[in-house]
Chains A and B, each alone.
Chain A
Amino acid sequence: MHSNPQLVEFLEATSRGDRVSFAKLYEQTAPHLFALAQRILKRKDWAEEALQDSFLKIWKKAADFDPQKGRAFSWIATIVRNGCLDQLRKSSREPLSPEGIKEEWHAAHQAGPLDLAALSQSAKALQDCLKELSEEERNTLVLAYWRGLTQSEMAQNLDRPLGTVKTWVRRGLERLKGCLER
């Protein structure tokens, strides 16, 4: 799915106003994106709303996708994730208390029984490389992906000094990049 070449065709046809291809694009990606939206927003009704808004954006902006510059699924997932994070920021819809965020940080990378065989090569590499990071570095980066918290917000919610969080972020990203490029 995540590197499905058909998505590029669907996006290109969508940019020409082809509604059938748009429907196919939705059919193939919506289950993954709905899971993503629910993971961020924690509520089904908010996730539905975010998915609707995101697909309208995809309909309008499909022509901006350039297959030379990234994968189709990433382009779509970025729109959905940003839409969800905007929804959290703009409407103060923080579904988690600071305690909840702290718990989520501790559990951020206990992703459960991952079906490694089902992961794309790139996702598998990410999982492997995340394991090379310290627990704090790994959890901070993963929590940032799911919650979009700034470093200051992260420090506040985790009751840690801002400098400590910044160090986790910098070291974590440096090690992650080094590992992903190996």
Chain B
Amino acid sequence: MNQESAQERSYLAAQWVLGLLDESERAQALAAIDDQQEWRRAQTFWEDRFHGLTEGLKPETPPNHVWNHIERAVESQDAEGGLWRHFFQSVRFWRPVALMATAAALILFFYARAPVGPPAVAPTQVAMLGASDQAPQFMVAVDPQSHRMTVKAMGKVDLPSGKSLELWMLPGGDAPPLSCGVLPKEGKSSWEMKPKEIEAMKNGNGLAVSLEPEGGSATGGPTGPVLYQAQFVTL
């Protein structure tokens, strides 16, 4: 990382934190991110500093009904299973789950080689995509029988206008990434995989998501920054 780009990153992060960028400038800033962790660090630097401005304000206790409302809302969410939902959305849940899934995949890998006969149902391949320090944004699952790939957005994906997220299969070696299409901004989408994609899934290096112009890359290969990457695990 040279000093010039570190300065530019800090400058963009400060503007981002203050809210000075309009939509197209935010998209440009996103496209210029070359290191997610450094970008987050730059944002945190400015957030920590600028929130110092609030210390000049005189604290004022809010009326009691504000807390009563929050308490009631939390109770009703818990009654609807909201506690589990917020736990499932958290990175603290997914980190150990990802590790467990990897461990399970390894166990299955070794046991599948043992001569105990073929499994009744072939195992599903799953990948979770998201920033390493945040809850996953997308879950990708492949049905081993029909070779249908299903992608589910775990929440509403907030993207700058004129931008899409595109999913890529990484075949490994020198082979270029294969586009699996544009990711849904919410809900899920499902499609039948092409033979090349099935082959790449079996032998490749997992999946990647890049930021592209709306509708996806026009070149057939990724043009924007890679935001997320993940390996398939076998369940």
A residues at B contact (CB < 8 Å): 2, 15, 17, 19, 22-23, 26, 30-32, 34-36, 38-39, 47-48, 51-52, 55-56, 59-64, 66, 69-71, 73-74, 77-78, 81, 85, 111-112, 114, 118-120, 122-127, 141-142, 144-152, 154, 169-170, 173-174, 176-177, 180
Q: How far is the CB of A18 from chain B (nearest CB, A)?
A: 11
B202 at the interface (CB under 8 A from A): no
Q: How far is the CB of A71 from chain B (nearest CB, A)?
A: 6
Q: How far is the CB of A171 from chain B (nearest CB, A)?
A: 11
| Also in contact, A173 and B11, with CB within 8 A (given A2-B52, A71-B48) | yes
Q: Are B56 and A2 in contact (CB under 8 A)?
A: no
Q: Are B87 and A2 in contact (CB under 8 A)?
A: no
| Cβ contact of A63, chosen from B65, B78, B90, cutoff 8 A | B90
Give every chain B residue within 8 A of A47 (Cβ-Cβ). 62
Q: Are B55 and A2 in contact (CB under 8 A)?
A: yes
Q: How far is the CB of B56 from chain A (nearest CB, A)?
A: 5
Give every chain B residue within 8 A of A51 (Cβ-Cβ). 62, 66
Give every chain B residue within 8 A of A141 (Cβ-Cβ). 18
B residues at A contact (CB < 8 Å): 7, 10-11, 14-15, 18-22, 25, 40-41, 44, 47-63, 65-67, 69-71, 73-74, 77-78, 82-83, 85-87, 89-93, 133-135
Give every chain B residue within 8 A of A17 (Cβ-Cβ). 78, 83, 86-87
Q: Are B20 and A149 in contact (CB under 8 A)?
A: yes
| Also in contact, A34 and B61, with CB within 8 A (given A71-B48, A74-B51, A114-B56) | yes
Residue of A at shortest CB range from B85?
A: A60
Give every chain A residue within 8 A of B78 (Cβ-Cβ). 17
Q: How far is the CB of B109 from chain A (nearest CB, A)?
A: 30
Q: Are A126 and B53 in contact (CB under 8 A)?
A: yes
| Also in contact, A64 and B134, with CB within 8 A (given A17-B83, A31-B61, A48-B62) | yes
